Structure 1
Amino acid sequence: MTTASPSSSPQSAREALAVRLQHLCKDAGLTGKELSARCGWHPAKTTRIQKGDVLPTDADIRTWCAACGADDQADDLIATARAVDSMYLEWRRLHGTGMRKVQQDFNTLHERTRLCRVYVSNVPPGFFQTPGFATALMQQITAFQGTPNDIAEAVAARVARSRFLYEGGHRYVMITEESVLRYRTADPGIMAGQLRHLLAVMPLASVSLGIIPFTAQRTVWPLEAFYVHDDTMAVVETLTAEIRVTQPREIADYTKAFAGLAAMAVYGDAARTLIRAAIDALE
């Protein structure tokens, strides 16, 4: 990922926060010295914050916003600051002792999530995966990352997540690209089993499954996989890292993108037709 993205690393996220604070200062027509006087602190502190050298505290942000007449932006900026050091988690570090613990941590997150909106453009999400498919996928990931092999334990933890489909209080709304049905992520027999499993879970009351056909007119371009947990967190999965987004402004963007993607998808019998066509292509 490039450092230009506010979500690419803690440092770039800190710099993006600093830029937003700088803009508040400029919009208020204040110099750094004038802002410092209004905030009641040394100008050197203002400079360090504006350069992204230090992360401002909640109190610092509220004071800064008040000095700029922008109290309405304080909560969003505070959420941004709190997320900086925990938002970007490199997979190799997370999988440093194997994949089992990460899968268990995801189970804990899903346990407290009431509504999970999921968009995938690569593979079915873990809670929809069969043991065979999860094994094939994790074998590829472990080999690519060169991390410890605890695949059997990790698969068991991942497959255990599917219990939330059958327990009350959880709802999963998934949008996937038709290409996901066609990718040969595992051998044909395992892929066919995975696709049949999607057909099996579609009737569940806790599940809504939509598929964006190849032929759909795009209003939202294909994106990286993301999971919106209630309206409190969006988990974005890239090749190298998991990014946890908690800023209200960014979460709103992900929910907006999800709504656009959902509008392009087909459901029910039309979705089943696409899945069955993918199975037929394997056979």
Structure 2
Amino acid sequence: MTNLVPWRQRLSTGTEDIQGEVIRWYQETRHSKAYLPTMIWGTLQTEAYAGVILRQVVEFLGIPDDVQAGVAKRMERQQVLYDGEHHYDVILGEQALYTNVGGPTVMGGQMERLLRDFDLPSLRLGIVPATAEVGMAPEPGFHMYGDDRVHYELVSSGVDITDAEEIALHNKAFGFLSDAACYGDDAKTLIGKALAFWSGE
């Protein structure tokens, strides 16, 4: 089953309510996966980075401006990284380290945050190098909440997939992405290079 809800409908009261909804998803799911080819995973975003993203959402969609409250909720959601009860397998495209969200200062702080939290027991963070060969056609980013749901964020809508066969294909795709990704010190090196870039070194 696939459920599609337009963002203007889903965010009709602003960004805070949906952040609360996402908190519930994360709290209820012990093991989640996420692939983001061009931006930083929300649960690892700094306050500054998240503020730029949510400001863009508000202005693009013309929804009520509650960016400050939305950012506060996004920061609250990050507590799942530290509670010892959840695990996240996250893959970023190398481009995510260079997509300019808020300028060098924001991006530099974001790279520092990735390096700081890289070794959290709750997190397995991989980076797909820009030149890596992946055994599948390029796909947009997606989030997997356990084995029950896959979530996509499109330009105009959020899409949730709950069909078991489709979820199995997403698990297969995630496996290909994981095989192509760098982990450990190799991934840290890529993040460190991005930090040097944003620091002007």
AA aligned to 1:253 is: L
Among residues 23, 29, 33, which one is paired with 1:107 in the alignment? 23
TM-score, reference length from structure 2: 0.96
TM-score, reference length from structure 1: 0.69
AA aligned to 1:131 is: E
Q: Which has the higher contact order (CA 8 A, sep 6+)?
A: 2
Aligned to 1:224: 140
Identity %, equivalent residues? 32
Are the equivalent residues in 1 in contact too, given 2:38–2:94 (CA < 8 A)?
Answer: no
Q: Does 1:128 align with 2:44?
A: yes
Is there any run of 5+ residues in structure 1 with no aligned partner, and where?
Answer: 1-79
Tell me which stretches of 4 or more aligned residues in structure 1 moved more than 2 Å. none
AA aligned to 1:198 is: L
Partner of 1:157: helix, strand, or coil? helix
Q: Report deviation, 1:123.
A: 1.4
Aligned to 1:35: none
Among residues 168, 176, 179, which one is paired with 1:260 in the alignment? 176
Q: Does 1:155 align with 2:46?
A: no
Structure-1 separation of matches of 2:33 and 2:56: 26
AA aligned to 1:148 is: P
Q: Report deviation, 1:122.
A: 2.4
1:75-90 alignment, distance < 5 Å: 80=1, 83=2, 87-90=3-6
Partner of 1:244: helix, strand, or coil? strand
1:1-283 alignment, distance < 5 Å: 80=1, 83=2, 87-283=3-199
Partner of 1:205: helix, strand, or coil? coil
AA aligned to 1:156 is: A
Structure-2 separation of matches of 1:151 and 1:271: 32
Is there any run of 5+ residues in structure 2 with no aligned partner, and where?
Answer: none
Q: Report deviation, 1:159.
A: 1.0
Are the equivalent residues in 1 in contact too, given 2:39–2:95 (CA < 8 A)?
Answer: no
Q: Report deviation, 1:272.
A: 0.7
Structure-1 separation of matches of 2:91 and 2:138: 11
Bigger share in strand = 2
AA aligned to 1:178 is: E
Partner of 2:139: helix, strand, or coil? coil
Structure-2 separation of matches of 1:221 and 1:199: 29
Structure-2 separation of matches of 1:120 and 1:98: 23
Are the equivalent residues in 2 in contact too, given 1:121–1:222 (CA < 8 A)?
Answer: no
Structure-2 separation of matches of 1:115 and 1:221: 25
Bigger share in helix = 1
Partner of 2:14: helix, strand, or coil? coil
Q: Report deviation, 1:187.
A: 1.3
AA aligned to 2:179 is: A
Structure-1 separation of matches of 2:110 and 2:130: 20
The two structures, once aligned, show a CA RMSD in angstroms of 0.9
C-alpha deviations, 1:85-105, integer Å up to 9, x for none?
xx1011111111101000000
